[in-house]
A and B are shown apart, each in its own frame.
Chain A
Amino acid sequence: MFGYYLKRIFSAIVTLFIIATLTFFMMRAIPGGPFTREKALPDQIIAQLNAKYNLDDPVIVQYLNYMKGIATFNFGPSFRELGLTVNDLIRQGLPGSMKVGIVAVLMILVFGIPMGIISALKQNKPIDYTVMVLATIGVTVPSFVVATLYIYLISSRVSWIPITGLSNPIAFIGPAIALSGYSLSYVARLTRSSMLEVLRQDYIRTARANGLSETRVIGKHALKNALIPVVTYVGPMIAAILTGSFVVERIFAINGIGRYFVESVSNRDYTVIIGMTVFYAGLYIFMVLLVDIAYSFIDPRIKLGKRTGD
C-alpha cells in the first residue's frame, strides 16, 4: 500500500519534470526573443537585457538553472511586469481565483450531486426530465455565454449586484455560476447515470429485502458506490476550477491567475507563461494524485499496486 503511494508520487514528479522540460524548450523554439518589440531595441540594450536575465548562457545552463528554480518553487522574474517575479503574480492572482473557485466547487457539490440523485430516484418523472434538460443546457452553453448573459440580464439591471470585481458576497454569484455551469451539469448527469446503474445491483435489492429504510439504502449502500465515478471527475475538475477560468476572470475583471495567464500569453511574457503552466500542471497532477489515493479509501474493490493499465 505504502509502496503504491511512493510509486504514484514518483511518477507524478516525473510527469511534472517532463512538462517543465517540454514547456521550457517549446518556449525557446519561438522565433524572436522575449525582448522583441515593435520598435527594435539597440543591440547593446538587448545584450545587456540578455545578460541581466542570464539569457546569454548556453541553453543547457539556462535549462539547469531553470529546473533548479522550479525545484525550489522559484519561477524567476517576469520580463514585462518590471520588478515582479512570477511568484509575485501567482501570489497576487491565486486568492481571487481560489475564492471564486471554492464557491463554484461548493455549488457543484451541493447542487450537482443531489440533482443527480433526485433525478435517478425519480427516473422518467417530470422532475427527472427537468433536471436533465437543465443539465443538457448547462453542458452545451459555453461559459463565456453564460457570463455575458448574466451580466446583460441581471447585473446590469439590478443595481445592487456588482457587474465586475469581488467587492461583496453577492458579486460572487455571477462568476461562480459561469464557472460551475458546465461541471455542475456534468456532475448531475454523471451522478444520475451511475446511481441508476448502482440501483439495479443485487446488493441493493438485498438491502431492501432485509427491510432497511429507503434513506439507509440510498444514503449508505447506493451512494457510496455511485459516487466513485463522480470522484474521478471531481478531482481534476477542482484543480481546473480553483486555478480559475481564463474567460470568466476576464469577463468579470477578477484578479486571478487565469487572467494573468491570458495576459502573459498576449504580452508574450515567456517566464510567466512557463511558470504558470508548470504551476497549473503541478496543481492538476497533485489533485489527480489525491483522487487516486482517495480511491483506496472509498472503493475497496480497487486493489492498489495491482492495477494493470485500463
Chain B
Amino acid sequence: MRNPEFEYVDSSRKESKEQIRKSLTYWKDAWRRLKKNRLAMVGMFGVILIILFGVVGPWFMPYSYSDQNNNFANIPPRLEIYSIGNNEYVYLSKQYNLILVSSKGELITKLTRTNMDVLNKIYVYTYDGEDIVVDYSYRARDNDDGIDITVSYKGLTSEYPAKTVSNKTYRLGSDNLGRDLLTRVMYGARISLTVAFVATIVNLVIGVTYGAISGLEGGLVDDIMMRIVDVINSIPLVLYVILLMVIINNRGLWTIIITLGTVYWVGMARLVRGQVLGLKEQEYVLAARTIGVPKAKIITRHLIPNAMGPIIVSMTMMIPSAVFTESFLSFIGLGISAPQASWGTLANDALPGLSTYPYQLFIPAFAIALTMLSFNFLGDGLRSALDPRLRKG
C-alpha cells in the first residue's frame, strides 16, 4: 500500500517542513514592494552607480582634477587621425595643433609648428627633423571631394583620415586647460553629491526637529512656529540662497552646503509637523506621557521613527533638487571656486567653446540629468512603497 512517491517523516523533520511565515516588518514590506517596482530599481541602480563613479572612480584615474597639460587642450573623445607612415599618426586639433598619436589613440606629443601660411591655408610642423605639411585649404573650397585636410610627410600624402579612434589618453576628452574631463566629472560628482547629501541632512535635522517640536507642543508655540514657516515659505528661496552666498562671500564647498542646508528645510518641517499631529494622539504616545517620559525622548523614540516613511521619501526628492540648485548656482558663478569643479561649474566652463567643443557641456549635463532621473525614479518608487494608502498587496 505504500505509495513510492510519499515517505514517512519523523518529528524532527516534520517541524522543518512546517511553514511559519515571519510577519513582515514595515521596512521589509516596503522593500518587498520596492523590489517589484522596476523603474525604482533602475533608479536605485543609477544612484549606486553615480555614487561609485564619484567615490571610487578617481582612484583608478591617472590624473587629478587639477592636472593640466596645455599641449593637449580641448582634445575630443573621438579622434580622426591621419597616417604619416611607419605606423604613426597625427591628429589636427580644432586649434590647429598637430598632435602625434599612436595607432591605438594614445596622445604622444604636440609637434612644433615651424611655419604658418595663413593666406594659402598651409601650416608646417616639424617631426624628427622633417616637415609635416598640413593643407587645410579644402575647408574653404566648394568642391573638395570630401577631403577635409591633407597631411604630407616625407613625400607621403594622406588625403583622408586613416581611421577614427577613441582618445586613449583622455577617455572623455580634455577641457580648455588640458585637464582630463572624465576625472573632472568624477570629482564633480563628489562635490555635487557631497553638497546634495550634506545639505539634505542639514535640512533634515533642522526640519525634523522644528516640525516635531511644533507639532508636539501645539497651541501658541505651534502657531508662532508655523507663522515663521509661512513667512519663509512665501519668500522666493533662490533669492535668499543668492543673498546668503553674497554675504558669506567665501566661495567654498561649505558655504554652499550651509546656504542650501539652512534655506530648504521648510517643506520638511511642515511634513513632519503634519505627521506628528496625527501620531501624538496615538495611545502609545499617551502611555509614554503618562509614565513621564520627557518630550525629547518621545520625539526621538516614538514620533520620528513612525514618521520615517514620508521623511525618507521627501529626502530622496530633496537630493536631486539640491544637485539642481547647486549646479544652477555654480552656473551663474556663485558656486565652487576653481580648480575644484562641480557639474555646474563644468557646464559653465564649457559655455564659451560650446560650438567647437560641445562634448565638454554634454558630459556634465548628462551626469546631472542622470542623477536627477535616478533619484526621481527612486523617490517615486519609495513613495508608493512606503505610503500605506497606496498599498495594493
Choose, from A46-54, A75-83, A133-141, the stretch at the interface: A133-141
Is A120 an interface residue when CB atoms closer than 8 A count as contact? Answer: no
Q: Is the CB of A144 within 8 A of B236?
A: no
Is B221 an interface residue when CB atoms closer than 8 A count as contact? Answer: no
In the bound complex, CA of A174 to CA of B242 (Å)? 25
Q: Is the CB of B332 within 8 A of A250?
A: yes
Is B376 an interface residue when CB atoms closer than 8 A count as contact? Answer: yes
Is A121 an interface residue when CB atoms closer than 8 A count as contact? Answer: no
Is A90 an interface residue when CB atoms closer than 8 A count as contact? Answer: no
- Could you give, for residues 347-358 of chain B, a 1 whenever the CB lies within 8 Å of some chain A CB and a 0 otherwise? 100010011001
Among A156, A240, A277, contact of B243 (Cβ-Cβ < 8 Å): A277
- From A284, which residue of chain B is reached at the shortest CB distance? B236
Choose, from B78-86, B97-105, B323-331, the stretch at the interface: B323-331
Q: Is the CB of B236 within 8 A of A240?
A: yes
Q: Is the CB of B351 within 8 A of A148?
A: yes
26 contacts between A and B (CB under 8 A): A15-B230, A19-B231, A26-B244, A29-B247, A30-B247, A136-B373, A137-B369, A140-B320, A140-B372, A141-B368, A141-B369, A142-B331, A142-B369, A144-B327, A148-B347, A148-B354, A149-B361, A156-B355, A246-B238, A246-B332, A262-B332, A265-B334, A280-B236, A280-B239, A284-B236, A310-B270
In the bound complex, CA of A310 to CA of B275 (Å)? 11
Q: Is the CB of B376 within 8 A of A277?
A: no
Q: A145-B361, A285-B234 are in contact. Are A139 and B226 (CB under 8 A)?
A: no
* B residues whose Cβ falls under 8 Å from a Cβ of A: 226, 230-231, 234-236, 238-239, 242-247, 249, 270, 273-274, 320, 324, 327-328, 331-334, 347, 351, 354-355, 358, 361, 365, 368-369, 372-373, 376
Is A168 an interface residue when CB atoms closer than 8 A count as contact? Answer: no
Q: Is the CB of B234 within 8 A of A288?
A: yes
- Residues on B with beta carbons closer than 8 Å to the beta carbon of A310: 270, 273-274
Q: How many Å from the CB of A99 to the closest CB on chain B?
A: 21
Q: A144-B347, A145-B361, A145-B365 are in contact. Are A281 and B243 (CB under 8 A)?
A: no
Is A266 an interface residue when CB atoms closer than 8 A count as contact? Answer: yes
A interface size (C-beta, 8 A):
45
New A-B contacts (12) at CB < 8 Å, excluding given A149-B361, A261-B242: A15-B231, A30-B249, A31-B249, A137-B369, A141-B365, A141-B372, A148-B351, A151-B354, A265-B242, A273-B243, A285-B234, A288-B234
Q: Is the CB of B354 within 8 A of A277?
A: no
In the bound complex, CA of A142 to CA of B370 (Å)? 11
- Residues on A with beta carbons closer than 8 Å to the beta carbon of B376: 136, 139-140
- Residues on A with beta carbons closer than 8 Å to the beta carbon of B236: 239-240, 280-281, 284
Chain A contact surface mostly:
helix
Chain B contact surface mostly:
helix
Q: A144-B328, A148-B354 are in contact. Are A266 and B333 (CB under 8 A)?
A: yes
Q: A247-B328, A268-B246 are in contact. Are A139 and B372 (CB under 8 A)?
A: yes
Q: Is the CB of A284 within 8 A of B365?
A: no
- Residues on B with beta carbons closer than 8 Å to the beta carbon of A136: 373, 376
- Residues on A with beta carbons closer than 8 Å to the beta carbon of B230: 11, 15
Q: Which residues 103-155 of A sit at the B interface, judged by CB distance below 8 A? A: 136-137, 139-142, 144-145, 148-149, 151-152
- Residues on A with beta carbons closer than 8 Å to the beta carbon of B327: 142, 144
In the bound complex, CA of A99 to CA of B304 (Å)? 47
* A residues whose Cβ falls under 8 Å from a Cβ of B: 11-12, 14-15, 18-19, 23, 26-27, 29-31, 136-137, 139-142, 144-145, 148-149, 151-152, 156, 239-240, 246-247, 250-251, 261-262, 265-266, 268, 273, 277, 280-281, 284-285, 288, 309-310
Q: How many Å from the CB of B219 to the closest CB on chain A?
A: 12
- Residues on A with beta carbons closer than 8 Å to the beta carbon of B361: 145, 148-149, 152
- From A14, which residue of chain B is reached at the shortest CB distance? B231
- Residues on B with beta carbons closer than 8 Å to the beta carbon of A31: 249
Q: Is the CB of A277 within 8 A of B239?
A: yes
- From B377, which residue of chain A is reached at the shortest CB distance? A136
- Residues on A with beta carbons closer than 8 Å to the beta carbon of B249: 30-31
Q: Is the CB of B243 within 8 A of A19?
A: no
Q: Is the CB of A145 within 8 A of B239?
A: no
- Residues on A with beta carbons closer than 8 Å to the beta carbon of B235: 15, 19, 281, 284
In the bound complex, CA of A14 to CA of B228 (Å)? 11
Select the residue from B270, B274, B373 with max chain A CB neighbours within 10 A: B373
Q: How many Å from the CB of A3 to the closest CB on chain B?
A: 19
- Residues on B with beta carbons closer than 8 Å to the beta carbon of A30: 246-247, 249
Select the residue from B239, B242, B351 with max chain A CB neighbours within 10 A: B239
Q: How many Å from the CB of A26 to the closest CB on chain B?
A: 6
Q: A30-B247, A142-B327, A144-B347 are in contact. Are A152 and B373 (CB under 8 A)?
A: no
Among A11, A151, A281, contact of B239 (Cβ-Cβ < 8 Å): A281
In the bound complex, CA of A285 to CA of B355 (Å)? 40
Q: Is the CB of A145 within 8 A of B369?
A: yes
In the bound complex, CA of A117 to CA of B335 (Å)? 39
Q: A273-B246, A288-B234 are in contact. Are A145 and B332 (CB under 8 A)?
A: no
- Residues on A with beta carbons closer than 8 Å to the beta carbon of B324: 142
Q: How many Å from the CB of A61 to the closest CB on chain B?
A: 22
Q: A23-B243, A140-B373, A141-B369 are in contact. Are A18 and B231 (CB under 8 A)?
A: yes
In the bound complex, CA of A23 to CA of B243 (Å)? 8
In the bound complex, CA of A282 to CA of B255 (Å)? 27
In the bound complex, CA of A246 to CA of B355 (Å)? 22
